[in-house]
Structure 1
Amino acid sequence: MNSALSINHLTCKYDQQVILESLSLKVEQGEIVCLLGASGCGKTTLLKAIAGLLPLSSGSISLRHQTLDDGRDWLPPEQRNIGMIFQDYALFPHLTVAENVGFGLTDVKPNERTDKVNEMLHLVHLQDFAQRYPHQLSGGQQQRVAIARSLAYKPDLLLLDEPFSNIDTQVRHELIAEIRRLFKQQGVTAIFVTHSREEAFAFADKMAVMNHGVIEQYGTASELYYHPSSKFVADFLGGGSYLAARRISESEYQTQLGCIPAKAQHNIDLNQACELLLRPQHLVLEAVNNSDIHVLEQQFMGDHCRYVINASGSQLLASSNEPLTVGQAVAVRLQPQGVLAF
């Protein structure tokens, strides 16, 4: 595959404060990449730098082998052929849906413009809403109008800043799946920003977890979840707890729960103290009459329950195939496949 977007050693500063530091990223043609991280980690700053709305302190950005900015040559935003969709959609309230979609098509003949607008409206299933105004649409429909407008002039790259944050939860998952299918059908190369790991898992081909202006890890969702490069990535992608351990062999670690096989994510010497990352699915609970381990908390997750247990002084997240109550004595069955040592 050919890299559509190439970012090399990019640094951006606000008032001498470093926001992005020596950041590098490559996005392949037709990929959907998520920038995932907490507020203030630099996600939106990176989008603005790519769009040309923010100067670089150092580094370079190129799109389809054309330099956008390298400190010497700088291409203005309007010449980059990059579409951008904002959190609030940025639709023109005084224009109809059709007029919003066709707003950027200024260099085509009127009949071609009409054909393109109709094509885009059919693409996003809004052909019956062409003469409505934005305030007459739901949040999900407004988002589809914004996407149709951005796709109308065939951008080389589409940037989306928190695109689903204003969508009702009950329709968000359906909309994410619908827009992903649309992007794949059209071969869209896209970068989107979110702080929601659920959105990232559902929408992206690859994820870049950001922390204080750097990319901690870049890869597919399964790579980052099952093989996090750091405790930060492991914690951000969620659902785990740490158990004190000591390495006793090449692949075994002694813990309060006994000997557990695990894979070391860093160099850990024999007899060295460390921690094991245990996801809830690694610890399966079963109610018993007599045990030193008890349920401390029950967290109802909708389709399942997650439990917090005390295990020899450690509080661990666990799962169960049967309903349990707070204070109940339990036995722990370990499923060690995929346990990581840090």
Structure 2
Amino acid sequence: MFLSLTDVQVRYPGGAKPAVAGVTLGLAAGQIGVLIGPSGCGKTTLLRAVAGLEGVCGGRIALQGEVVSSTSVHIAAEARRIGMVFQDYALFPHLDVRRNVDFGIRHLDSTQRRARVDEVLELVGLGGMQSRYPHALSGGQQQRVALARALAPKPRLLLLDEPFSNLDVELRERLAHEVRAILKAAGATALFVTHDQLEAFAIGDVVGVMHEGRLQQWDDAYTLYHRPATRFVAEFIGHGVFAPAHLAQHGGQVVVQTPLGPLQDIEECPLPSAYPDGLCDVLLRADDIVHDPGAAVRGQIVRKAFRGADFLYTLRLPSGETVLAHVPSHYAHSVGDWVGIRVAMDHVVTFARLAEPPTSP
């Protein structure tokens, strides 16, 4: 692996528990990895440890086979040949684009510097803007200058810490696709931190979900969504809810009984013996629930969110359970309406049923 983290732990002085606890992951050369998770989950701390800005109290970090961090080794950040792009861009307002970009390559002669700056500015789509100043650039252009500056010294690894967080939503997603194309064209290996799932899926070859300092899953976006390894990943990625279910075997077939009726002919369905008495929770994604006026099961709309092409409806079933459903926006039902729904899924995701909270006396 080009970048390898093995059981990495980071603890801040006075912290009751590690900020990063036993993280293991790997990135191949040319891959883009993304760390995602709620605020305070440890993703930025892990990025800083890779950069050399934080020491580790356990495990090791290796870059191209060289250990750069462990309990006995700490290569200084400036000696790791790692580029960083920050969320505030950190451009020098008094320097033009050319001088901002060549800041990290002043050791080259002027001809080499000029050629490299022109090369990376063309790569990020800012050719011809060498004489502009940061205040004359849009937010997206400033971010590209920051990326060009990080790429100019030809770092072994590029780290990006929420680089689009100051941009509006539409620009963030578009720029994520563009930055991915730039990194791929540059042949860069990169590790990216974000809290935005759309950004993560747009830019990453592999995505890691972190929670309370631990890496819950390190996988491609499709697998995270359809094959979540933990209950937290299932809840954090996409829109969905857990519903109580019962697994029962009829002949050679497992039937999953849910509040929306029985499911059968489901791929990779666990056997009833996987859970006590076959009782479990099944993940119902919003795209598993189909709006069907002729369906026998009906749900009452308790909330709706317009998303352009569709609505995200929150529906309460007669049993009291709640499900989510994406419904095309030309079905403009009102809150309080009852609508027909059915389940359409080809694989099932189940987890152990959570214990019921104790009832108050």
DSSP-derived class of the 1:235 partner = helix
Q: Displacement of 1:233 after TM fit?
A: 0.1
Kindly tell me: are residues 62 and 293 of structure 1, through their superposed partners in 2, closer, same or farther at Cα, counting changes over 3 Å?
A: closer
* TM-score, normalising length: structure 1: 0.94
Alignment of 1:130-141 (within 5 A): 130-141=130-141
Match of 2:359 in 1: none
**Structure 2, unaligned runs of 5 or more:** 352-361
Equivalent of residue 292 in structure 2, options 270, 280, 286: 286
Kindly tell me: are residues 339 and 46 of structure 1, through their superposed partners in 2, closer, same or farther at Cα, counting changes over 3 Å?
A: same
1:282 maps to a residue whose letter is D
Once the two structures are superposed, what CA deviation does each residue of 1:134-177 show, in whole Å capped at 9, x if it has no partner? 11111100100011011111101000000111122232222111
Match of 1:317 in 2: 324
Match of 2:304 in 1: 298
CA contact (8 A) 1:265 1:340 kept: no
Whole-Å separation in 1 of the counterparts to 2:325 and 2:117: 52
CA contact (8 A) 1:286 1:320 kept: no
Match of 1:67 in 2: 67
Equivalent of residue 15 in structure 1, options 13, 16, 36: 13
- Which 10-residue stretch deviates more, 95-104 or 69-78? 69-78
CA contact (8 A) 2:57 2:70 kept: no
DSSP-derived class of the 1:309 partner = strand
DSSP-derived class of the 1:296 partner = strand
Whole-Å separation in 1 of the counterparts to 2:281 and 2:95: 58
Whole-Å separation in 2 of the counterparts to 1:8 and 1:123: 34
CA contact (8 A) 2:35 2:192 kept: yes
Please give the root-mean-square deviation of Cα atoms over the aligned residues, in Å. Answer: 2.0
Q: Displacement of 1:32 after TM fit?
A: 0.4
Whole-Å separation in 2 of the counterparts to 1:111 and 1:181: 28
Whole-Å separation in 2 of the counterparts to 1:265 and 1:85: 48
- Which 10-residue stretch deviates more, 287-296 or 214-223? 287-296
CA contact (8 A) 2:254 2:271 kept: no
Whole-Å separation in 2 of the counterparts to 1:257 and 1:156: 52
Q: Displacement of 1:132 after TM fit?
A: 1.5
Whole-Å separation in 1 of the counterparts to 2:228 and 2:184: 27
Q: Displacement of 1:129 after TM fit?
A: 1.8
Instruction: Count how many residue pairs are aligned between Structure 1 and Structure 2.
Output: 340
Q: Displacement of 1:16 after TM fit?
A: 4.0
DSSP-derived class of the 1:103 partner = helix
Whole-Å separation in 2 of the counterparts to 1:149 and 1:142: 11
**Structure 1, unaligned runs of 5 or more:** none
Whole-Å separation in 2 of the counterparts to 1:173 and 1:275: 33
1:340 maps to a residue whose letter is V
CA contact (8 A) 2:260 2:342 kept: no
DSSP-derived class of the 2:262 partner = strand
CA contact (8 A) 1:205 1:220 kept: yes
Q: Displacement of 1:52 after TM fit?
A: 0.8
CA contact (8 A) 2:39 2:195 kept: yes
Equivalent of residue 335 in structure 1, options 339, 344, 349: 344
Kindly tell me: are residues 270 and 185 of structure 1, through their superposed partners in 2, closer, same or farther at Cα, counting changes over 3 Å?
A: same
Kindly tell me: are residues 292 and 27 of structure 1, through their superposed partners in 2, closer, same or farther at Cα, counting changes over 3 Å?
A: closer
* TM-score, normalising length: structure 2: 0.89
Whole-Å separation in 2 of the counterparts to 1:210 and 1:235: 13
1:319 maps to a residue whose letter is H
2:9 maps to a residue whose letter is T
Whole-Å separation in 2 of the counterparts to 1:266 and 1:110: 71
Kindly tell me: are residues 124 and 269 of structure 1, through their superposed partners in 2, closer, same or farther at Cα, counting changes over 3 Å?
A: closer
Whole-Å separation in 2 of the counterparts to 1:288 and 1:109: 74
